[in-house]
Chain A
């Protein structure tokens, strides 16, 4: 994670405006300066620099993919990332899940009055760096300031547009019996990193979020002509929710093995302490891929060349067309249902 050098670079005179005021969203001179000096400066690119009400751009021939997501994570800064980098990674990843090459993002900020200007600048710099690393441009945006107490510091919405440079139908409905289930790395780091910070839990080692963009290995798979049936990024609800949604959409039975699922020892320990199932815990830089059995070796070889998917492994397979069901074989070799979590994950009493 690149940490922006925000302290030296914040272009607004901090001494004058150490916090965001209502006037920064009021349409007048202060708002103009905020847009020009903070967002305009950080995100600068030819399309944004036209300062028009809407960005105009040419579209390539073929299909486009579009997605939107809102980011409300608390705390704003967490080990391994922040709301800004996450707002880029999450939307880039959603585009990547249809095999799209991400092109453009929008960014809409809802800022609570009183947010330290340094905090905003730090988030904006983090977004800038993440977008640059992902090869996407932020081409239009919006800023609103809400009264103190009517927001929670900062919310960000990003919408993304990408182009599909393939003719595959990458979708949950396309999962076939016999497909291998590949997970792109160890699970549960984002959820446990956030929970540890939010709840003031101290473990021996700091768990860092896995927040990252995963489009590069996927675009390489597509370039190599891999037959991908389905991709799904593992966010809230974790692997369990993703597999259940896919089983339902495809009308298949999916079976995975607990022993095959990669989980780091510190994440595993934190889950044990809190009584959480790591298969239900959120991730921000992990995806699951369904590919035909004969493609497994070549797909794994490509995924493992990239740091973000370097620990990709097969964890199970789609068994047959049947009523939707996901099962997991326990470490003792007995299979059970893997259900979606009922609601928010709540630590057990004992």
Chain B
């Protein structure tokens, strides 16, 4: 396919891999921030092309995974109410809350609908004036502009029956939280290309400087990821800690200004809890006062609650790169995509789900022997 197959070329991939092998002299731990990159790495077996010294750590960049359990419980509570049409991106539907999930709420009569754009939720609200239409606003900076546009349009249209349950999160504060942790082993980052397509990469310069880590803005195709790793290793081996842009075909330094303006208009930066990690200061987006009427939490009089994660789940350590999925005692046995214990098994972009899907423990040796 045009503009896609070019970035999956096996020969070029081998050339990148050989160059990485050639220049690597020491062990390095590199975190790919985004779940989409984790998915590509595991699906295409990119890590198996790398020298043994290079360890890829799978970061917290999966919006489904880091949405806190209590927010999912709130979503379930709203979706089950009569007179509500609850709209969401597809992969939130399978995510379990404390007791059930949105697919089960739908099976029991809740009006839960998959949509592809938050603007579709606005349309549904216009077409169903007698119903309360709620959109589950989750995601990183990538989806924030579309969410903001939906709120902006709903306000322009004067819709009273539209609101959002919001759990938007921001990448740079999460990187800062990871780097300031005393356990942090990450020596470099592949930053998420799509996030930077919106936000640019200005924000990463202070982080690279403060923590002396290379940060390479990287795309999602196999050649993007390999090229990103090569640029990162070149920096590490030569003792540099700079911000570089591998994903030049989509990202510029300033990002998409009109998208950023819209996000700023509708949202403000707030503290946000991340599932498996805990609260990170200034790491989320909440509605500005001017748009407060579209906040589903007060509208539905939801109470803040605190829900404990299953004690056996090591998702928090995995999201921080301190453990690999197969090092978890319940991985692939009691914890599976059908019965996930925690954050990283629930979404297809989660590290545990990616490992489960493509390389279950033990099976991997057999795969490798082909």
Question: Which residue numbers of A lie inside 8 Å of B, CB to CB?
Answer: 199, 201, 253, 255, 265, 268-269, 272, 275, 319, 322, 325, 327, 329-337, 339, 342-344, 346-350
Contact = CB atoms under 8 A, between A and B. Distances in A.
Contacts of B222: 331-332
Interface string B326-367: 000000000001100000000111000000111110010011
A269 B2 CA distance: 9
Interface stretch (B45-53, B249-257, B282-290, B292-300): B45-53
Contacts of B194: 350
Given A342-B338, A350-B140, A331 B348 contact: no
Contact of A336 (B43, B92, B143): B43
B19 interface: no
Nearest to A322: B366
B357 A265 contact: no
Contacts of A343: 94, 103, 338
Interface string B287-317: 0000000000000000000000000000000
A268 B1 contact: yes
Interface of B: 1, 4, 8, 10, 13-14, 36, 42-46, 48-49, 63-64, 89-94, 103, 114, 116, 138-140, 142-143, 194, 222, 337-338, 347-349, 356-360, 363, 366-368, 370
A337 B360 contact: yes
Contacts of B64: 349
Contacts, number: 102
B235 to A, nearest CB: 24
Main secondary structure of the interface of B (DSSP, over half): helix
Contacts of B370: 255, 319, 327, 329, 335
B338 A332 contact: no
B368 A335 contact: yes
Given A332-B46, A334-B48, A350-B63, A327 B367 contact: yes
Contacts of B348: 275, 348
Contact of B90 (A272, A336, A347): A347
B309 to A, nearest CB: 21
A332 to B, nearest CB: 5
Given A319-B370, A325-B366, A346 B93 contact: yes
B360 A349 contact: no
Contacts of B142: 350
